[in-house]
Amino acid sequence: MRRLYHCAEARSMRSLWLLNELGLEFELIELGFDMKKLRAPEYLAIHPLGRVPCLVDDDLVIFESGAICQYLCETYDDGTLHRAAGHPERAQWLQWVHYAETIAVHGASLVQQRVFVAPNERSEAVRNLESRRLGKALGVIDAHLADRDYLLKSGFSAADTGVGYSVHLAAKFIPLDPYARVVDYYARLQARPAFRASLSKSA
């Protein structure tokens, strides 16, 4: 029995996208960003902070999207999406799998300003700072894509599902046009059936 706990457009989209890329069967439990569901004792027993994603795979319970990415690739991939220990691009694969969070924390901070902070308590300074830092993090991807279509020269990998989600989130907050290669990269990712299958039904 495999089950993914998910909220639409949240970091759990990375795990959902990867499960779809891998073609694995799973049950999707949508918690709908509903704090009552995220903080329910039954869910806190699975994820102690009440966050998503969380993957249950038979007896295993694992949270953190980067860890879920590594686990799924190590356990179920044939080498297409994974770059295992010993692969020449192993270190770069790991770097980008985790760089995804460096981008996403700025997006998450902007989500908090928009969704969780009362309008009279929102900070323009925080919004400007996080938008600038988000842009800088995307600039690194833009420069990196100068000689390749995906993060790794060998082609699309699970690292692109992590970073790709972060680009998808960033696009909700800042214009991507200053990052022309990121715009093209995002378009390539959006064309993937597994990406489209992972979008929120209302997106």
Ligand X SMILES: N[C@@H](CCC(=O)N[C@@H](CS)C(=O)NCC(=O)O)C(=O)O
Q: Name the site residues for ligand X (rule: CB under 6 A).
A: 10-11, 38, 50-53, 64-65, 101, 108
Which is closer to ligand X, CB of 18 or CB of 52?
52
Which is closer to ligand X, CB of 64 or CB of 149?
64
For residue 78, the minimal CB distance to ligand X (Å) is 25
For residue 58, the minimal CB distance to ligand X (Å) is 20
Which is closer to ligand X, CB of 108 or CB of 183?
108
Minimal CB distance residue for ligand X: 51
For residue 193, the minimal CB distance to ligand X (Å) is 23
For residue 52, the minimal CB distance to ligand X (Å) is 4
Which is closer to ligand X, CB of 34 or CB of 155?
34
53 cis-preceded (ω within 30 degrees of 0): yes
Which is closer to ligand X, CB of 51 or CB of 82?
51
For residue 111, the minimal CB distance to ligand X (Å) is 7
The answer to whether 202 and 24 have CB atoms below 8 angstroms apart is: no
Q: Return the closest-CA partner of residue 162 out of 93, 109, 89, 106.
A: 93
For residue 35, the minimal CB distance to ligand X (Å) is 7
State how far the Cα of 32 lies from the Cα of 99, in Å rounded to an integer: 26
Task: Compute how many other C-beta atoms are within 10 angstroms of the C-beta atom of residue 58.
Answer: 8
Q: 136 CB contacts (<8 Å, ≥6 apart)?
A: none
Which is closer to ligand X, CB of 66 or CB of 140?
66
Cα atoms in the Cβ-side hemisphere of radius 13 Å centred on 143: 6
Q: 142: which 2 tokens?
A: 């833009």
Planar angle of CA 16, 173, 29, nearest 5 degrees: 25
Q: 147 CB contacts (<8 Å, ≥6 apart)?
A: 153
The answer to whether 190 and 196 have CB atoms below 8 angstroms apart is: yes
